[in-house]
Amino acid sequence: MRTLTVLGATGSVGASTLDLVRRNRDQWRVVALTANCNVEELAALAREFGAAIAVVADESCLPALREALSGTGIETAGGAEALVDAASREADVTVAAIVGCAGLAPTMAAIEQGRTVALANKEALVSAGEVMTAAVAKHGAILLPVDSEHNAIFQCLAGNRIEDVRRITLTASGGPLRTWSQARLDAATPAEAVAHPNWDMGAKISVDSATMMNKGLEFIEAHHLFAVGLEKIGIVVHPQSVIHSMVEYRDGSTLAQLGPSDMRVPIASCLAWPGRMDTPMDPLDLAAIGSLTFEAPDEVRFPATRLAREAAQAGGAAPAVLNAANEIAVAAFLAGKIAFTRIAVTVERTLDRSLPSAPQTLDDVLAVDAEARAWAGALLETT
């Protein structure tokens, strides 16, 4: 029996994680489940899995959670500090699946306790960068990548030496708007942008897929997870999402990981690591898929990967600013306030400001994040 905490239990990755746990109930005991304010779903999950504690990040939602769980013996808590406390509790595996930089402090709390963290929350690593990787090293934590691309790379690197890697190639589906003209992209609606052809995901990452910022964030994420140098990380568009990423070695061999477009595959790889576990998906049927195609990214229609690459090259505060501006712009787009193509423009203009100095601590990262959110918000108000 192993213990598990899921930060962001009510989201898409949270649901996929708990689906695997549901199928293996005798192997897991659930410690903490968290949400922002989705009390109904959180309470239902806490009851079903007999969680020790359920936490809402938004403290105003705590009374409703208390009421929903009264008489169950399940502890309840609310607010940012409660989230950090819950993430600090002993657990064999902590799945970090909160969306956005909001997940950074609890993820760091688990890392500082030296836990095994299955990381889906890419924005946290992009923003904190070396602050997070240094904490992993200092506290002897283990970071297992949940993101399907990084999980693929992690698997392709197993048993090999990082010095032998010639190139890492992240695959990108290209998202639902991949073939759209610039004029059509200007008029893309939130419903069109979240209608991903291959993956069923939360709204924010779905928009990131449509702008290609998801791949930009993953480029930075890969740089922190795998010590190969930025110049050795590339991106190729692969619309079928069958190959989840590849590692090429100096002898010319390229190892790829293939699988169904279902997050339960990489999540299972993390939950069972270093072993393997069953998943309920149909085996990959390559004959039915027929063909796998590849194309170079178009950074004119989709500038986000260029912006992310430049932010990674600049280092320091730039990745945190990129991420914060993107979060603000995506939220404005989803709220119907700005056009789809304004997302990348807002990120670029925010990065054009003179950037704060490189963050050295978690508080520094959170300060940069807050400042960049204010800048991006002001840009959206005034332009």
Using CB under 6 A, list all residues that contact ligand NDP. 8-14, 35-38, 57, 97-99, 102, 120-123, 147, 199, 201-202, 204-205, 263
Complex with ligand NDP: residue 135 or 205, whichever CB lies closer: 205
Closest approach of ligand NDP to the CB of residue 147, in Å: 5
129: left (phi over 0), alpha (psi -120 to 50) or beta: left
Closest approach of ligand NDP to the CB of residue 119, in Å: 9
d(CA 158, CA 135): 23
Sequence-separated (6 or more) residues with CB below 8 Å from residue 329: 338, 342, 343, 346, 347, 376, 380
Complex with ligand NDP: residue 10 or 341, whichever CB lies closer: 10
Complex with ligand NDP: residue 248 or 262, whichever CB lies closer: 262
Closest approach of ligand NDP to the CB of residue 43, in Å: 11
| Nearest Cα to Cα of residue 169 among 270, 316, 295 | 295
Closest approach of ligand NDP to the CB of residue 323, in Å: 10
Complex with ligand NDP: residue 38 or 173, whichever CB lies closer: 38
Indicate the pairing of strand 2-7 with strand 93-96: parallel
Complex with ligand NDP: residue 8 or 176, whichever CB lies closer: 8
Closest approach of ligand NDP to the CB of residue 214, in Å: 7
Question: Which pair of structure tokens corresponds to residue 208?
Answer: 């990131």
Closest approach of ligand NDP to the CB of residue 54, in Å: 11
Burial 276-307 (b: 16+ CB within 10 A, else e): eeebeeeeeeeeeeeeeeeeebeeebbbbbbb
Complex with ligand NDP: residue 99 or 248, whichever CB lies closer: 99
Question: Which pair of structure tokens corresponds to residue 353?
Answer: 């400001």
Closest approach of ligand NDP to the CB of residue 230, in Å: 21
Closest approach of ligand NDP to the CB of residue 200, in Å: 7
Cis-peptide into 190, omega within 30 deg: no
Neighbour tally for 3: CB within 10 Å: 16
| Nearest Cα to Cα of residue 194 among 183, 181, 184, 209 | 209
Complex with ligand NDP: residue 126 or 312, whichever CB lies closer: 126
Complex with ligand NDP: residue 83 or 248, whichever CB lies closer: 83
Rounded to a whole number, what is the distance in angstroms from the first to the last CA of the chain?
A: 55
Complex with ligand NDP: residue 80 or 227, whichever CB lies closer: 80
Asked whether the beta carbons of 34 and 106 are under 8 A apart, the reply is yes
Nearest-CB residue to ligand NDP? 11
d(CA 47, CA 73): 10
Complex with ligand NDP: residue 147 or 369, whichever CB lies closer: 147
Closest approach of ligand NDP to the CB of residue 218, in Å: 9
Give the sign of the dihedral formed by CA 7, CA 9, CA 15, CA 18.
positive
Q: Is 74 helix (H, G, I), strand (E, B) or coil?
A: coil
Closest approach of ligand NDP to the CB of residue 371, in Å: 18
| DSSP notation for 94-155 | EEE---SGGGHHHHHHHHHTT-EEEE--HHHHHHHTHHHHHHHHHHT-EEEE-SHHHHHHHH
